[in-house]
Amino acid sequence: MRTVLVGNIKGGCGKTTLATHLATAFAAEGSFVAIGDCDRQGSSLNWLRRRAPDAPAILGLDWAKEVGDPPKGLERLVIDAPAAMHHKDVEALIEISEIVVVPVLPGAFDEDATARFLERLSKVKAVRKNKRVVAVVGNRLRPGTRASDRLDGFFGGLGFPVVARLRDTQLYPTVAARGSSVLESTESRAKSYAAEWAPLLDLIIGSK
């Protein structure tokens, strides 16, 4: 089973967007996929309730109170982590994951929080010994703006690779409202946004 943890201590940075998109990418493979929603808000589970009955199946696991055992036969697990995580909780989730995806938005507050989270990650034994892959994703970027330019400078000082850069678009809330993703969208405008996911998907799916 391949397990991907999507996490950051900063709320509102797009963890659920990344988690649901990764789940749809796994589902498109025909894999037995689940999202473990560890956030009390239950955003990923709510997204699943809006999903079309004929869409590729994704199982929802309510792990808000406690991380449970994945069902037998599960092939792909995406964990949507809450923003408020203690160090021991971070370590516990990393222990059951192979890849940690860290979304970050442009902005000083987001950069500061992400820097603290990455510092925390760097102290986890499995990460320190390169037994876990950590991938940073720039989210809701608006190329040419000061905030995005500043984020580029922030990326330059990280000790972890920036794997993908996702532009801001109203298409994301549009597809989320119907329990879908830009990767599944048939709209012509979705094609260029879906292409921005390729490096991250290559890392996660291509390195099976």
Q: In the structure, what pLDDT confidence band is assigned to residue 207 with cuts at 50, 70 and 90?
A: low
pLDDT above 70 (res 1)? yes
pTM of the full predicted structure?
0.94
**What total of structural domains would you count in the chain?**
1
Please give the share of the chain, as a percent, with pLDDT higher than 70: 99
Distances (CA, A) of 178 to 21, 49, 51, 52: 13, 9, 6, 7
Q: What's the confidence (pLDDT) of residue 89?
A: 82
pLDDT above 70 (res 161)? yes
Identify whether the C-beta of residue 5 lies closer than 8 Å to the C-beta of residue 80: no
**Contacts of residue 193, Cβ cutoff 8 Å, sequence gap at least 6:** 166, 167, 169, 171, 182
Segment 134-152 mean pLDDT: 90
Torsion of CA 135, 57, 55, 28, to 10 degrees: 50
Per-residue burial over 3-28, b = 16 or more CB atoms within 10 Å of its CB, e = otherwise = bbbbbbbbeebbbbbbbbbbbbbbbe
Q: What is the mean pLDDT of the chain?
A: 93
The SS3 call for residue 113 is helix
Nearest to 4 by CA among 112, 158, 163: 163
Distance between CA atoms of residues 108 and 90, nearest Å: 23
Residue 146 or residue 97, greater confidence? 97
Residue 99 or residue 158, greater confidence? 99
Q: Which helix (H) or strand (E) holds 23?
A: helix 15-28
Domain that holds residue 70: 2-204
pLDDT above 90 (res 103)? yes
| pLDDT per residue as tens digits for the range 27-57 | 999 999 999 999 999 999 999 999 999 999 9
Q: In the structure, what pLDDT confidence band is assigned to residue 193 with cuts at 50, 70 and 90?
A: very high
pLDDT above 60 (res 169)? yes
Lowest mean pLDDT among 79-93, 111-125, 159-173: 79-93
Segment 166-194 mean pLDDT: 96
CATH for 73: 3.40.50.300
pLDDT above 70 (res 61)? yes
Segment 149-161 mean pLDDT: 86
Residue 59 or residue 142, greater confidence? 59
Identify whether the C-beta of residue 39 lies closer than 8 Å to the C-beta of residue 81: yes
